[in-house]
Amino acid sequence: MELTVIMLRTLLMYLFVYVILRMMGKREIGKLSVFDLVISIMIAEIAVIAIESPHPPVLHAVAPMAVLVVAQLIVSNITLKNRRLRLWFEGKPSVIISQGDLNWKEMKKQRYSLDDLMMQLRENRIDHVADVELAVLESSGKLSVIVADKKKQDAADSRGESAKPKIRYGLLPLPLIMDGLVQDDSLERIGKNRFWLRQELRKEGVKDFKQVAFCSMDHKGRLYINRRK
C-alpha cells in the first residue's frame, strides 16, 4: 500500500514540477540565473522530500512550492521593468578579452581561471587568444566570443587604411537607454552626453527619453531606437 502511495506521489510531483517550470518560462529552462537556480533547486528538494515521506499530506509540499513560484514570477516581473534590480538579481556581463588582451582584473573578480577560459574558447573553436576581438562572460556563465576579421584587417593594412570601427568599447551593442532610463556610463564610453543623445532622438521624432524602451549604438556609430508602445 505504501509503495502505491509513493508511486502516485511521484507521478503527482512530476506533473506539478513540470507545470511549474513551464510557468517560469522557457528562459529559465535553458539559461538559469542565480536566483532562478536557487528556486529550481529548492523546488526539486521539496519534491523529493514529498516523495520519500508519504505520510504528510501532499499539500504540505505543494504549498511551499507554490510560494516559491509566486515569488519567482513577482521578481521576474519587477526586474523586467527595473534594470538596477535586474542587474542585482542576475548580474552584469563581464568583458574577459578585448582586442586580444586579457582582462586579469575582471577575471580575478569573477574567480574565472585560465583553465575556464581555455575550455570555453575551445568550445567556441578558438585556438589563439589574439584572434579574439571580444569575449564576454555572460551572467549565465556562458562565454560569448566575437572573432576579429583578419581578411578585412589585412586588406585595410595593404591599402594603408584602418579597418577599426568608429567607436571602440567593451560590450556590443552599447545600450544608451533602457526602459526609459539613460545609461550615463555608456555615454561616457563613447565621449557623448545627454544633450547629444536628445538631439539624435529628436531627429527621429522622439521628444523625451521616457518614450524610448531601448536605444543602442553599434561599433559603426549607428543608433537603434525602439519606442515604448
CA–CA distance, 127 with 145 (Å, rounded to integer): 12
CA–CA distance, 151 with 148 (Å, rounded to integer): 9
> DSSP 3-state assignment of 4?
helix
194-209 per-position pLDDT tens digit: 999 999 999 989 989 9
Give the mean pLDDT of 93-121. Answer: 86
**Is the pLDDT at 134 greater than 60, yes or no?**
yes
13-38 exposure pattern, b = at least 16 Cβ within 10 A, e = fewer: beebbeebeeebeeebeeebbebbee
CA–CA distance, 67 with 86 (Å, rounded to integer): 21
149-170 per-position pLDDT tens digit: 655 555 544 555 444 445 554 5
